[in-house]
Each structure stands twice: as structure tokens, then as C-alpha cells.
Amino acid sequence: MRFSLGKWLLPLYSALALIFLLTPIVYTFVFSFNDSVKSNIVWVGFTLDNWTNVCDAQGVCAAFGTSILVGVVATLIATVLGTLLAIALARYRFRGRSVISLLLFLPMATPEVVLGAGLAAQFLTAGVPKGLGTIIIAHALFCLSFVVVTVKARVASLDPALEEAGRDLYGSAFQVFTRITLPLLMPGIIAAALLSFALSFDDFIITRFNNGGVETFPVFVYTAAARGMPPEANVIASAVFILALVIVVVAQTTSAARRKRLARAQ
């Protein structure tokens, strides 16, 4: 048998990359069961107390709740504004359209350190006290660009004939938008909202510049790492990962079942 380098190199590279990506996740999940007191670096013993009493660690649940609140509010703001901007940029021609498109891409290309420091300077100049409101504004700002890009791609793929058919059937502009355009855009809007929430929940650098005394979950983890990561933080991180994995599996299974039903119907 002839030896093929590509036949073995690609699977080996894929396996090593998968191990490299999953090692931190496995470590986090395993050490969420560690029976540690001060430091959660060395394995002491197995326990379920960390999962049953996850809020025993001071501040961990409050920080997690703050991240959820910030993520939800920032996602709602970014999704609504981003969807309207995407429709306007994809469907209409107006003065300054190219400049607006360029400006929307700038937060995606700007390093988070620069963006966070710039926002902090703006809040300081305007006399706005840092806190929960400044975090939400900052997160909505950088999430807006990702929403616009995602929804704009979905708008560009729509067939204008469907909306024209709705208008030919005497539908008003509001009826055509709510019954035809919006349902067709909904997959892109949901994808943009999920991406926006994930970016907001995970952000640390921009939050650190603009949080004031408010502590989100990434900030709590960073602060706790200096004095020994509590296992309860590993519990929350593991639970979030498992929840995300379940959502992805359910969505893929539902989508595959729907495709099979459509194939049989045809």
C-alpha cells in the first residue's frame, strides 16, 4: 500500500486541533467537581456540593446575573437598531450610505482596547458616571456592527418578487413587512441576536474600561483568578457550555427532521 501523507496528516492535525480546543473546557468541567477550599488549581477530591450550592461563593451568582442582564438588554438594542440599519443599507439608496457602511465596520476592525478606552474617555468627557448603563451602551455599540452584517446578508438573499406579490394582493406596507419580510428575515435576526448575546456575555476588555463598580461574570473570573478561582465559577461556565451544546444539538436535529419532511413531501 502506498503511503499518502495527506491521508494521515489531515486527520492527525484535526485531532490535535480538537484536543487543543477541548482541553480548557474539559479542565473547567472536571474542576467544577473539585472539593477545594481556597484554590481550585490542585485536585483535592470529588464532590457535588459545588453544583448543589453554586451561589455559596460570594458574588458569583450576582456577577452571572449582571452578565445575563447586560447581554439581554444590549442584544435587544443592537438587534432592533441593527435590523433597521441593515434593511435601510440593503434596500435603499441615500446620501452618505457608503460612509455609514464604512463606519459600521470600524468597531469590528478596531481592537477592543482602543474601543474600550475611547468609550471610557467619551463617558468621562460627557460626565456620565460609569456603571450598568455605560456597560450596556458599550456592548450595544460593538454588537451593532455584527447584527448589521448578519442581517444585511439575509436581506440581500431575499427575493423581491415575494414582497411585490404581497403588494399586488393589496397588502399595505406594514402588512407586507410583518407577514412577508420579517418572517423571511427572522432566521438571520435570530442568528444575529445569538451572536450578539454571546459576544456581550463573553466580553471582558471593553467591560473593564467602562464598568465602574459593576462586576460582570468575566470580570469576576478575572478578579477571582488572582486569589484562586472558586469552583462555583467553573460550575457556571460548565453549565453555560452544556446549555449551548444542548441548544445547538436540538436546533440541528430539528432542522434535519424538517428537511426530511420537506424531502418526503416533494
Q: In this structure, are residues 185 and 201 in contact, taking their beta carbons and an 8 Å threshold?
A: no
Q: How confident is the model at residue 197 (pLDDT cuts 50, 70, 90)?
A: very high
CATH of segment(s) 60-228: 1.10.3720.10
249 or 42: which leads in pLDDT = 249
Average per-residue pLDDT for the chain:
86
3-state helix, strand, coil in the chain (%, to 5): 80, 0, 20
pLDDT score of 221 more than 90: no
pLDDT given at position 5: 65
- pLDDT per residue as tens digits for the range 111-124: 889 999 999 999 99
pLDDT given at position 138: 93
Q: How confident is the model at residue 3 (pLDDT cuts 50, 70, 90)?
A: low
For the record, the C-alpha cell of 41 comes out as: 488549581
- Residue position matching grid coordinates 478578579: 223
Question: What DSSP string runs through 38-82?
Answer: S-SSS---B-SHHHHTGGGSTTHHHHHHHHHHHHHHHHHHHHHHH
For the record, the C-alpha cell of 71 comes out as: 447581554
- pLDDT per residue as tens digits for the range 131-155: 999 999 999 998 999 999 999 988 8
Alpha-carbon dihedral angle through residues 148, 219, 234, 195, given to the nearest 10 degrees: 0
* Phi, psi of 7, rounded to the nearest 5 degrees: -65, -35
- Residue position matching grid coordinates 416533494: 266
pLDDT score of 29 more than 60: yes
The proportion of the chain whose per-residue pLDDT surpasses 90, expressed as a percent, equals 30
Predicted structure pTM score: 0.83
